[in-house]
Amino acid sequence: MKSGGLKRTADCVLAAGGIALLLPVWAGAAAVCALSGEGVIYRQERIGRDGKPFFVCKFRTMRKEAPVLPREALAEPERYYIPGGAFLRSTGIDELPQLWNVLRGEMSLIGPRPLIAGEGGIHRMRQRAGVYVLRPGITGLSQLCGDPPPRMKTEIDRLYLENVSPAMDGAVVLGTVFLLVNRQKEKAKITAAKIAKFLRNF
């Protein structure tokens, strides 16, 4: 992609600036995690660019006893949250350590969310769609749909790949901010149909 170098430069500049500007937020989140006695940073193996594994970094929001599964696959995920963990998760603060993954070149600010290694079905669909030429992102186009089925999620990620540009990334950022500001996410989620219409007119 011609814009790959520009995207990488923007990622590094914005990630470094985000780390510097949000240090007080980092400190507060670290304190919440430390007080739980469960640890501060959670590292989990995910699938990255070219299908290669890497370790994603997050603030720990769940107890160590929580099963290693996607959140949507957990029965009653609320019972595994540490005190304050649900807040860190709902506000996206738990994702801030991934800015370090961005600086390391393992992630981008915008891109398909990295999969857990055990998500074999969608992993194979992404391989067929060519999605793994992209670095995984802290947020992405399919996240604006909430939790679409694997095939639809893969299709949205493929559409992002075909339309990736600074303008597209800016639109994803605005959509992500909208979801974070509007705490009633079930009402705020952008539907897959709206995303498809947006891409057709992009």
Look-up of token digits 């290693």: 68
Q: Of residues 116 and 186, which shows the higher confidence score? A: 116
pLDDT at position 136, please? 96
And the tokens for 82? 């540490």
Q: What distance in Å separates the CA atoms of residue 78 and residue 72, rounded to the nearest whole number? A: 11
Average pLDDT over residues 91-107: 94
Q: What distance in Å separates the CA atoms of residue 58 and residue 98, rounded to the nearest whole number? A: 6
Question: At residue 65, what is the residue type?
Answer: E
Q: What distance in Å separates the CA atoms of residue 78 and residue 74, rounded to the nearest whole number? A: 9
What does DSSP assign to residue 119?
A: -
Kindly list the domain boundaries of the chain, sorted by start residue: 4-200
Q: What distance in Å separates the CA atoms of residue 178 and residue 74, rounded to the nearest whole number? A: 26
pLDDT band at 193 (very low <50, low <70, confident <90, very high): low
Residues contacting residue 120 through CB under 8 Å, at least 6 positions apart: none
Q: What distance in Å separates the CA atoms of residue 182 and residue 166, rounded to the nearest whole number? A: 24
Q: What distance in Å separates the CA atoms of residue 51 and residue 68, rounded to the nearest whole number? A: 20
Sheet holding 53-59, edge to edge: 53-59, 41-47, 115-116
Average pLDDT over residues 118-147: 88
pLDDT at position 94, please? 94
Average pLDDT over residues 135-158: 86
Query: What's the chain's average pLDDT?
Result: 85
pLDDT at position 161, please? 92
DSSP of 70-118 = -GGGSSSGGGGBPTTHHHHHHHTGGGTTHHHHHHTTS-EEESPPPEETT
pLDDT at position 201, please? 58
Q: Of residues 143 and 45, which shows the higher confidence score? A: 45
pLDDT at position 188, please? 46
pLDDT at position 98, please? 96
